[in-house]
Structures are given as C-alpha cells and as structure tokens.
C-alpha cells in the first residue's frame, strides 16, 4: 500500500447524489452495463492520450501498447479495470468524479418523475457513465495519474456512492486509471472470467483497443501461483474500418451506444467508405429518441472526428448542417491533417464538400426510413420533426428533398397527428388540382374548425393544417413541391383555379355584382379597420371571414415578432362576407345605419376571434352584442 497524503473528504454535487440514488434504484434490471460504461470511458481516455501525444510524444512514456485490462478476484469480490490512457490529476478526479459537467443537468433532473420505469428511460438518454459503477459496487476505488506528471502526483479517489468521496495524493508508477469495484453482496457473479468475457463480447467488441482478461493457466511446477497471462477478448479494430457485410446489426447498435452515450438502439444507420479525390469513411446514426437538450444552444452536437484512425475531436460541428444536429456518428478522414482545429475545419473547402455529401447521406437514410419503416418514421418525426422544419431555411440546395421528408396534419386526418407527406398529399389530390393548400394557426382545434376551410370541405379538397410555432416561418421558405405551389388558404383572394367550374365562376361574378351596394355600405361602416371588403366564395356556413393580404405578415409570425419585442408593421385584413348567410341577408336589408354599423362590427370581431386573433377593443364588442341581445329579447 502506498503512502497517502493530503487526504480530504468532499461532498458530491447535489445532482450527482440524485443521479446515484436513481441509478442504484432504477437500473437494476440491466446491471451488467456498468462494464460497458467503464470500458467506454477507458477507451475515450486512450483516445485522448493518443491525440495529445501527437504534439507531445513524451506523454507515451516509453510507448507501451495502449490497452484496457479487466481482472477480478473471487475471494476479495472485486472487479478491476485498468487503462493506460490520459489519466486524471487530483483536480481532475475531484471535478470529473464529483460533479456532472453536462449542460442542462439541473434541467434534466427536473424532468425526473420518481416513476422508476420512466426515469430509467430518461437516465438512458442522459448517459450514466462512471457512476454506473455503483449499480454493482458498494465501494469504488479509483487510482489514477495524469500522463506527463510525476509518479508522486497520483490520486486515490474512493467512495461508497452515498453523500461524499475521499481523495488523497499517492505515488503511481504507471500513467492511466485503475478502477477497483468492491462488489455488493449478491453481485459476486461478476467476479468471474466467463461472465466478464461474455459481457465484453456483447457490449464492447467494437472498441478499437485490445481489452484483455487474465487467462486461466496452471501453475508451473514448484510455483504456488501461476504467472498471469493476458488474452485479448474483443475484436479490437475500429468498427467503421471493417467491411459492411462483416458487421452484425448488434455490433452497429453497440457502437452507437458507445459514441452516443445512449441506452437505446438507433433507428437507422448508414455506413460508407468514400474513395477518390477525397478519402473518408463515415458511420452515421439516427437516434430513436431526442436528447433532452435538443433545443439548447450549447448542447453537444456534431460527429466524432478521426484522422487516419486517430481520434481528433468530439462534436465536430462542421460536417453537418444545424438542422441535422441530432445525427450521431463518426467520420474518419485520410485527407485532413492530424493537428486540424475547429477554426481550420470551418474554413477548409474539403470540409464543405464532405458536408454536402454527408448531408445527402443523412437525407437519403431518412427517405429510406420513411419509405420502408413508416411506423418508425412517425416516431422519428415526433422527436425530430420540429428540427427538420429548420431545414428548408438553412439548406437551400436540399430544399426539395427536405420538403419530401416533412410531415403535416391535414383535413384528411382526424386527430391532428403529423403524418401526411407532400407526396401522399399530391397522390390523392383532386383532378385538376395544381396547388398545395395549407392553413396555419395556433392550435389544431382552431384550424380544424376554421371558416377558411368551408369551401374545401364542400369540394373535398385536402388542406394541410400547420400549428407548430415554426410553421409560418417554414412556409415562407417553401414555394413549391414537385412543381406545385403552396397556397395559404387564409391569404389573398382565394383562386381555386381549375377546381372551380365555369358556371361556379360566372355565378360568383353575378353575385358579386349584385352585392356592390352592400360592399360599399360595409366599407363605410368598417372604415379604417379593413383594407378591403369583398364577396367571399370560400364560405358555406359562416357569415364572414378575415383574409390576410397577399404580402402581409400572418398572425403567427406577427405574434412571434411581437412577443420578442419587435415592432410589427400594421396591416389590415380583408373582410369577406358570405352573401347566402341569413345574417348577411338581414344586414343587407337593415334600414338603420346605427344597427348596420353595430352588426358589421360584430361580424368583423367574430371573424377575428374565429381566426384565433385577439380583439382590439373587446369591450366595444361586448357592448354591441349585448345591445342586440336586449333588442332581441324586448
């Protein structure tokens, strides 16, 4: 036992305590994953060493082979993992093994429900890492030394996984980390060579470094104990360098869990090798679930970058556009320099062409998923649809492809689920329909019942119903799909083109002519509130409607801009009325100018309410309406 100095006891960060508690109580059904997590950390530590050693070869301290060793002691009931990676200093151990550095941790903790089943899913998304040791151990000792520091600067970290941990400074001859798990009673099954070998084969075969276990050898004659011989139990080659046909689905899935820190299998993946002018391999994954921090700016995103098999950078953001930030994976380039930096990546033209190729790969993979696994694609859309909607604005070149991946609610569904693709929409469009109709609004209930849909319902024409906050903004970037232009049914003078018969059009013109007097009277009554008054041909049941001017901001955009404190140009709606409605007939016959004025304002305000807008003068509306009600009951 080496001498321990400067011993101190420190408390875990609150979040760590909560996480530990949860982990111990909710991950009991799949305890063996602790080994995968610890091996994954050891592998990351070796990757880091290899990378730092590129500029500081001294760190390799003589250059022993980089590897991970797992051993056990049946009598002492311990499992030990040892790596010769980058290691930790005393300060490293205190911060890395006492706090959680991930952005949004506190937020994440708030999502926990106390329901163990649900929470274990959440923990899965969060990634448990080192602390998973406490699933099987009631005491964990970590002995470590940071590469490049003196042997006297080793650290011993020790904890029972409760409220606190101890650290002391020790001598450690070899750099790297040794973790000793003192198994809980009842968990000694893990102190077994076969068991450990099987777990390593199952979860960590893809780890690119050798993972060694002691071989059972008989003692030589005259010796009490056999000499330990080590044996590599994993395949120990980088997964993405192997030919696709030789890789099993399970291997792809375990590799995903390693790089993504996810517990669940991915939905899909795409593995490619590019040769020619540029040479690189890529392995890209679509996760099954959105990370809890998908919408946080500083959340991790991007791919793991390797240059000629050497790990260079985590979260290399320059290889995919922002709207594909949920994609996980690896790129391994033969063209980049080993000392490439984030700044260089941003400017390098090689990266641009890799980015557009990788983007296309992802979009192709999603197209395939949508086509072959529509149920899975539904799940994908629920999780990532909102982010995909950022695509058309960010990625002009792939606009049409992205549009094909979008999913919407529509009048042809009944529950507001976003399942209708534009290709489906066009495939069942009415004969002669050369437009894609849509309506935006705040909620599904509101748009579903909007008077704007009346004529479409009558003619059986499908309308897409868009109620995500981002939708109006999205539609400002989409002009057409498959040669058919998008038409907002609440906007401008609705022209149904070929869908209206010649007779319909003639009849409409005649009605409009006969109502010219009423139009003028309404213009006078409504005055400054409206840009225009006209006879509507989109109404069958409602008396009136407000249409948005062709160039004006829609309600959603206006509300978003106003909420963010921006000044929004004032725009007036167009008042359209339904000449066949009894209220309009009544209005037309109204002799008193005062009552005509009241009734027109009430109709105007009602139309605003039906569109989900708020009234400029709600008190005036109530006063006018009550006045009419009193007259009615008199």
User: Is position 42 an interface residue for ligand ADP (rule: CB under 6 A)?
Assistant: yes
> Shortest Cβ distance from residue 23 to ligand ADP (Å)?
11
Which of 36, 69, 90, 261: binder of ligand ADP (CB under 6 A)? 261
C-alpha 166 chain-centroid distance: 38
Q: Which is nearer to ligand ADP, 71 or 606 (CB)?
A: 71
Sole window of 84-92, 456-464, 531-539, 557-565 interacting with ligand ADP (rule: CB under 6 A): 84-92
Give dist(CA 21, CA 102) in Å, integer: 18
Residue number closest to ligand ADP, CB atom: 129
Q: Which two tokens stand for residue 369?
A: 């998923």
Count of residues that interact with ligand ADP, criterion CB under 6 A: 16
Q: Residue for token digits 């998923």? A: 369
> Shortest Cβ distance from residue 119 to ligand ADP (Å)?
18
User: Is position 474 an interface residue for ligand ADP (rule: CB under 6 A)?
Assistant: no
Q: Which two tokens stand for residue 27?
A: 């991950």
Residues 6+ apart with CB under 8 A from 230: 69, 212, 213, 214, 215
SS3 state of residue 190: helix
User: Is position 45 an interface residue for ligand ADP (rule: CB under 6 A)?
Assistant: yes
Residues 6+ apart with CB under 8 A from 486: 435, 436, 437, 438, 475, 478, 479, 480
Give backbone dihedrals phi and psi of 286, rounded to 5 degrees, phi first: -100, 115
Which of 85, 385, 441, 543: binder of ligand ADP (CB under 6 A)? 85
> Shortest Cβ distance from residue 321 to ligand ADP (Å)?
25
> Shortest Cβ distance from residue 37 to ligand ADP (Å)?
6
SS3 state of residue 145: strand
Sole window of 39-47, 300-308, 332-340, 533-541 interacting with ligand ADP (rule: CB under 6 A): 39-47
Q: Which is nearer to ligand ADP, 47 or 488 (CB)?
A: 47
Whether the CB-CB separation of 60 and 165 falls below 8 Å is answered with no
Which of 104, 124, 129, 385: binder of ligand ADP (CB under 6 A)? 129
Q: Which is nearer to ligand ADP, 41 or 606 (CB)?
A: 41
Which of 71, 177, 433, 578: binder of ligand ADP (CB under 6 A)? 177
Q: Which is nearer to ligand ADP, 48 or 412 (CB)?
A: 48
DSSP class per residue in 38-60: HHHHHHHHHHHHHHHHHH-GGGG
Q: Which is nearer to ligand ADP, 18 or 356 (CB)?
A: 18
Whether the CB-CB separation of 515 and 458 falls below 8 Å is answered with no
Give dist(CA 346, CA 352) in Å, integer: 9
Q: Which two tokens stand for residue 477?
A: 């970037």
SS3 state of residue 540: coil
Tell which positions 86-105 bind ligand ADP, by CB under 6 A. 86-88, 96-97
> Shortest Cβ distance from residue 87 to ligand ADP (Å)?
6
> Shortest Cβ distance from residue 88 to ligand ADP (Å)?
5
> Shortest Cβ distance from residue 282 to ligand ADP (Å)?
23
Residue 284's H or E segment, with its range, is strand 280-286
Which of 10, 13, 60, 127: binder of ligand ADP (CB under 6 A)? 127
Question: What's the per-residue H, E or C state across 160-180?
Answer: CCCCEEEEEEECCCCCEEEEE
Which of 47, 83, 471, 576: binder of ligand ADP (CB under 6 A)? 83
Q: Which is nearer to ligand ADP, 177 or 410 (CB)?
A: 177
Q: Which two tokens stand for residue 231?
A: 């044996």
Give dist(CA 325, CA 287) in Å, integer: 11
- Give the residues lining the site for ligand ADP (CB under 6 A): 41-42, 45, 83, 85-88, 96-97, 127, 129-131, 177, 261
């Amino acid at each position: 036992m080496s001498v321990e100095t400067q011993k101190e006891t420190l408390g875990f960060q609150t979040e760590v305590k909560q996480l530990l508690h949860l982990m111990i109580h909710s991950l009991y059904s799949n305890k063996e994953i602790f080994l995968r997590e610890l091996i994954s950390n050891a592998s990351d530590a070796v990757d880091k060493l290899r990378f730092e050693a590129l500029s500081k070869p001294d760190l390799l301290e003589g250059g022993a082979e980089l590897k991970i060793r797992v051993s056990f002691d049946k009598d002492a009931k311990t499992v030990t993992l040892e790596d010769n990676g980058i290691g930790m200093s005393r300060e490293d151990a205190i911060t890395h093994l006492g706090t959680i550095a991930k952005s949004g941790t506190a937020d994440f903790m708030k999502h926990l429900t106390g329901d163990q089943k649900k929470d274990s899913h959440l923990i899965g998304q969060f990634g448990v890492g080192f602390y998973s040791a406490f699933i099987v151990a009631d005491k964990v000792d970590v002995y470590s030394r940071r590469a490049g520091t003196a042997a006297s600067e080793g650290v011993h970290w020790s904890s029972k996984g409760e409220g606190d941990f101890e650290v002391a400074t020790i001598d450690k001859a070899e750099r790297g980390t040794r973790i000793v798990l003192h198994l809980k009673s009842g968990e000694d099954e893990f102190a077994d060579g076969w068991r450990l070998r099987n777990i390593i084969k199952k979860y960590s075969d893809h780890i690119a470094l050798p993972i060694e276990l002691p071989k059972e050898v008989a003692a030589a004659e005259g010796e009490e104990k056999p000499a330990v011989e080590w044996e590599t139990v994993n395949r120990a080659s980088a997964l993405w360098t192997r030919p696709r046909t030789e890789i099993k689905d399970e291997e792809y899935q375990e590799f995903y869990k390693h790089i993504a820190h996810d517990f669940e299998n991915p939905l899909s993946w795409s593995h490619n090798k590019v040769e020619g002018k540029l040479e690189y391999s890529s392995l890209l994954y679509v996760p099954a679930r959105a990370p809890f921090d998908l919408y946080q700016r500083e959340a991790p995103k991007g791919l793991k970058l390797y240059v000629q098999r050497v790990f260079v950078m985590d979260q290399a953001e320059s290889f995919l556009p922002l709207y594909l930030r949920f994609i996980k994976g690896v790129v391994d380039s033969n063209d980049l320099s080993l000392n490439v930096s984030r700044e260089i990546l941003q400017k390098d033209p090689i990266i641009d062409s890799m980015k557009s190729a990788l983007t296309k790969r992802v979009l192709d993979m999603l197209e395939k998923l949508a086509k072959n696994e529509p149920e899975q694609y539904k799940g994908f859309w629920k999780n990532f649809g909102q982010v995909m909607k950022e695509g058309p604005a960010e990625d002009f070149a792939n606009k049409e492809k992205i549009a094909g991946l979008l999913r919407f609610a529509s009048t042809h569904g009944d529950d507001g689920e976003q399942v209708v693709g534009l290709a489906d929409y066009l495939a069942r469009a009415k004969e002669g329909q050369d437009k894609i109709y849509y309506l935006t609004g705040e909620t599904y209930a509101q748009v579903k019942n909007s008077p704007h849909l009346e004529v479409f319902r009558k003619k059986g024409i499908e309308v897409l119903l868009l109620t995500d906050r981002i939708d109006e903004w999205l539609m400002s970037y989409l002009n057409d799909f498959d040669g058919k232009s998008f038409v907002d049914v609440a906007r401008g003078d609705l022209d149904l083109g070929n869908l209206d018969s010649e007779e319909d059009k003639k009849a409409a013109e005649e009605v409009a002519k006969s109502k010219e007097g009423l139009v003028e009277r309404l213009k006078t009554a409504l005055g400054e509130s409206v840009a225009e008054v006209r006879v509507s041909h989109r109404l069958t049941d409602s008396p009136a409607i407000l249409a948005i001017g062709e160039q004006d901001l829609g309600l959603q955009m206006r509300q978003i801009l106003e909420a963010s404190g921006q000044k929004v140009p004032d725009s007036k709606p167009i008042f359209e009325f339904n000449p066949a409605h009894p209220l309009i007939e009544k209005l037309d016959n109204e002799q008193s100018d005062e009552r005509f004025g009241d009734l027109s304002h009430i109709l105007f305000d009602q139309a605003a309410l039906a569109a989900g807008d708020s009234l400029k003068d709600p008190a005036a509306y109530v006063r006018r309406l009550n006045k009419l009600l009193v007259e009615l009951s008199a």
